A and B are shown apart, each in its own frame.
Chain A
Amino acid sequence: MAKVWTVAELTGEIGRMLSEKSDFRNCWVCGELFNFKNHRPSGHWYFTLKDEYSSLKAVMFRTRSQNVRFLPADGMKVLVRGSLRIYERDGNIQLYAEEMQPSGLGELYLAFEQLKQRLAAEGLFAQELKKAIPRFPRRIGIVTSQTGAALRDIITVLQRRYPGLPWILAPAAVQGESAPREIAQAIDRLNKYGKADVLIVGRGGGSLEELWAFNTEEVARAIALSRIPVISAVGHETDLTIADLAADLRAPTPSAAAELAVPLLQELQAGLAQSTRDLVSKMSIQLQQKRRILAELARKSSLQNPYWHLAQARQELDILETRLQNNMTGFITDKNGILKLLAAKLDLLSPLAILGRGYSLTYDTQGKLLRSVQDVSIEDKIKVRLALGSIICQVLAKENE
């Protein structure tokens, strides 16, 4: 017997199955807009997508709808990305939209997004692969149409910024079926040739279809593989092309690319003139410093006047000589006086002179001079020194004075 579902059970089961199918969680749908309503004040969009056979309800919440760059209207063909879920109250399957593009453009856009993601995943746009744009290129390589406005714009800027700077054009069709291959080959050719220091690859502005060559894998790879740094120069206003992502530097227009590629000759010349002035002034400062050191040395030393030192020495010698003479005279005079005085003193003090006058000196047995009766005892032997000879005596008695 077949199972009997409640409505809620069945819609719940449908919802579960929808959410399990990964294709439904993130799918692209193309169709015509119908019953489009911009709900106020929520800002959510409610609409139906339909084609000649079927229709599908859809909602786009404000957080998503505010990123859509055009204003949708009934009858417009669009491409919508979103997830399929069931709105259980009504049992309706609804597309919860996250992104919307005008169709026509939409299909190109889808291909663009997919290619971009694939090449990004491959690492083709990695920052590490970006080459530095040389500051002073010797020759500019250009890849664009020989007859396009882009070439004229680039050359005009080159002439203004750096008259005389050589350039070489590798011509390529920039729209039409052969454009991607021609652009890729032209980049390759310039790499083989090798004499350009930077490449400008681009074309003037156009519709997304006209710029299509710059959104192809072939061109993106040729740019990424180029050994010479590439500046992309695709004239467009908003979205980046894949060529822009693969290039080492992105310029919004061909003229801007030329500005970025080439320095101003006047600035270079001014810089060189400044360097020359620096060089001369720094060198003259060096010389001044050396000169000052030399002058200082010369002033300090006798180099200034070779005779000066000699004269000074001579003068000093004179002074010394005078002082020596004066001192000697003084010394001699003084010495005479001192000598006489000393001789007189010496004479007075001489014990021999005293003894001569009849005095005598008395010593104990140790040879110590005796000055008092306390210094001796009865029967001590003492020695009496006379002017001529000595007498050994013995103390018989002591008398205090």
Chain B
Amino acid sequence: MNNEDNSRQIPDFEAGIKRLEQIVMALEEKEISLEVSLAFFREGMELVQFCTSLLDNAERQMELLMEGPDGELRVAPASFIGEG
């Protein structure tokens, strides 16, 4: 079923939330088959897990973006003075 593919293609939180809202709305329709509603439900629960993991897994990265004399970008961890 293509619902499964959709959830795999969701690239970010925003798209995930949007799809989740669509699914909840679709589940409000009376005229859907048991099979389709179960597929929606499963996709929805997967999206919830996916979005939750996005929120939980944000690892605090503090970085400095510098440019070397050769024009190369250099990313260094920031030791931030104003912290705390």
Residues of A within 8 A of B (CB): 134-136, 138-139, 141, 146-147, 151-152, 155-156, 162-171, 185-186, 189-190, 192-193, 265, 268-269, 271-272, 275-276, 278-279, 282-283, 285-287, 289-290
Contact = CB atoms under 8 A, between A and B. Distances in A.
Residue from A141, A163, A190, A278 whose CB has the most chain B CB atoms within 10 Å: A278
Contacts of B32: 286
A282 B27 contact: yes
Interface string B1-26: 00000000000111001001101100
Nearest to A278: B24
Contacts of B24: 275, 278-279, 282
Contacts of B61: 139, 166-168
Contacts of B38: 283
Interface string B21-64: 10110011010101001101100110010011001001111111
Contact of A136 (B14, B62, B73): B14
Contacts of A186: 65
A289 B20 CA distance: 22
28 contacts: A134-B14, A138-B12, A138-B58, A151-B82, A155-B80, A163-B60, A166-B58, A167-B63, A189-B66, A190-B65, A193-B65, A193-B75, A269-B55, A271-B17, A272-B17, A275-B17, A275-B21, A276-B48, A278-B24, A279-B24, A279-B44, A282-B28, A283-B37, A283-B38, A283-B40, A285-B27, A286-B32, A290-B34
Given A268-B55, A279-B23, 18 more contacts: A136-B13, A139-B61, A151-B82, A163-B60, A164-B60, A166-B58, A168-B61, A168-B62, A189-B66, A189-B67, A272-B17, A275-B17, A278-B24, A279-B44, A282-B24, A286-B37, A286-B41, A287-B34
A265 B55 contact: yes
A25 to B, nearest CB: 49
A66 B82 CA distance: 44
B81 A147 contact: yes
Contact of B73 (A139, A193, A279): A193
B64 A272 contact: no
A212 to B, nearest CB: 24
Contacts, number: 110
Which residue, of B24, B66, B73, B83, has the highest number of chain A Cβ atoms within 10 A?
Answer: B24
Contacts of A276: 45, 48
Nearest to A263: B13
A190 to B, nearest CB: 6
A192 B64 contact: no
Given A166-B58, A192-B73, A276-B48, A185 B67 contact: yes
A162 B13 CA distance: 14
Contacts of A152: 81-82
B47 to A, nearest CB: 8
B73 to A, nearest CB: 6
B44 to A, nearest CB: 4
A156 B48 CA distance: 29
